Structure 1
Amino acid sequence: MTNIKIYDAKLSKVIEVEKIEQTDAEWKKLLTKKQYEITTKKGTEAPGSCPFDEVQGAGIFKCVRCGTDLFRSTTKFESGTGWPSFYQPVSQLNIVEQPDKSLGMIRTEVLCARCGSHLGHVFDDGPPPTG
C-alpha cells in the first residue's frame, strides 16, 4: 500500500492517507453508471446536467469516489460552460495534473490525487487571479 499526503480542510492541516487503488470492475460496483463513466472512463456529462453547477454557499466539493477535499466553494466561478468551474484546488496536494492528448488536442487533465478520479480539464479562460 502507498501513502500520500493530502490537505484536510476540516482539520486545516496536511495528513497522510492511503492511496486508493481499485480496478475498473471494483469502481463499477461502487458507483452509479454516470459516476463510473465520468470518473473512471473520463466521460463528460452534458452541459447543464451537473447539479453541482447550481450549488451556492459555503462548503467544500469532495471527490465522489474517495471523499478527498478538492475545491472550496469560494473558488467556484460561472464559466458559462454549464459545468462547475473552479480557479484553484483546496491544495495542490489533493490533485494531479497530467497531459491529455485525446480528441486530437493537448489539454491538462485534473485527477484526484488519492484515487485517480477524473475531475475535468484546466482551461486558461477563468477569472482573476488565474484567467
Structure 2
Amino acid sequence: MQHYVTQQRGTEPPYSGKLLHNKSEGIYHCLICQAPLFLSGAKYDSGCGWPSFYQSWSDEAIRYLEDDTHGMQRIEIRCGSCDAHLGHVFPDGPQPTGERFCVNSAALSFTDGDGNKTPG
C-alpha cells in the first residue's frame, strides 16, 4: 500500500490508515524521506476517513499540483523534499487556515515525543 500511495499516486481505503485515530503528540513525517510535514497540534478529525491537518510544518514542506483525474479538479499535495504523493488539500478546513490537508496514512510516519516511530 505504501508504494502504491507514495509512488503511484494511489489512495488508501477510507478509515483504514494506522494513523487516522492517533492522538499522541509528535511530528508526522514523510514515510519515504522522513522530512517533517505536520505537527500533531494541527491534526483534527474531519470525518473524511483520512488523517486531516489544517496546517503544514512549513511552506516548503508541501508541494502543490493541480489534479484533474477522475473527472474532478483538486489540488494534489506531495512531499516538498522527495515528491512522494501524500493526498490532497481542500478549502473546507477549520480556522485559522481554512484548509484541510487530507493525507494517506500510508504516506506518513509518526514520531512521538520519546522518539518512537510508527509507520502509517
Q: TM-score range by the shorter chain?
A: 0.7 to 0.9
Could you list the per-position Cα deviations for residues 54-89 of structure 1 after superposition, in whole angstroms to 9, with x for gaps in the alignment? 111210000000000000000001010110000111
Correspondence 1:122 to 2:103: no
1:105 shift after superposition: 1.6
Question: Which residue of structure 2 aligns with residue 43 of structure 1?
Answer: 10
- Percent sequence identity over matched residues? 46
Report which of the two has the higher share of strand: 2
39, 42, 54: which is aligned to 1:72? 39
Report which of the two has the higher share of helix: 1
Structure 2 unmatched ranges of 5 or more:
99-120
Query: What is the identity, as a one-letter code, of the residue corresponding to 1:65?
Result: I
The 2-side partners of 1:38 and 1:57 are apart by: 24
1:125 shift after superposition: 1.4
53, 61, 79: which is aligned to 1:94? 61
Q: TM-score, normalised by structure 1?
A: 0.72
The 2-side partners of 1:124 and 1:117 are apart by: 22
Q: SS of 1:40's equivalent? A: helix
Segments of 4+ moved more than 3 angstroms: none
Question: Which residue of structure 2 aligns with residue 105 of structure 1?
Answer: 72
Query: What is the identity, as a one-letter code, of the residue corresponding to 2:62?
Result: I
Query: What is the identity, as a one-letter code, of the residue corresponding to 2:54?
Result: Y
Q: TM-score, normalised by structure 2?
A: 0.79
Q: SS of 1:51's equivalent? A: coil
Query: What is the identity, as a one-letter code, of the residue corresponding to 1:53?
Result: L
Structure 1 unmatched ranges of 5 or more:
1-33
The 1-side partners of 2:49 and 2:71 are apart by: 23
Superposed CA RMSD: 0.8
1:35 shift after superposition: 0.4
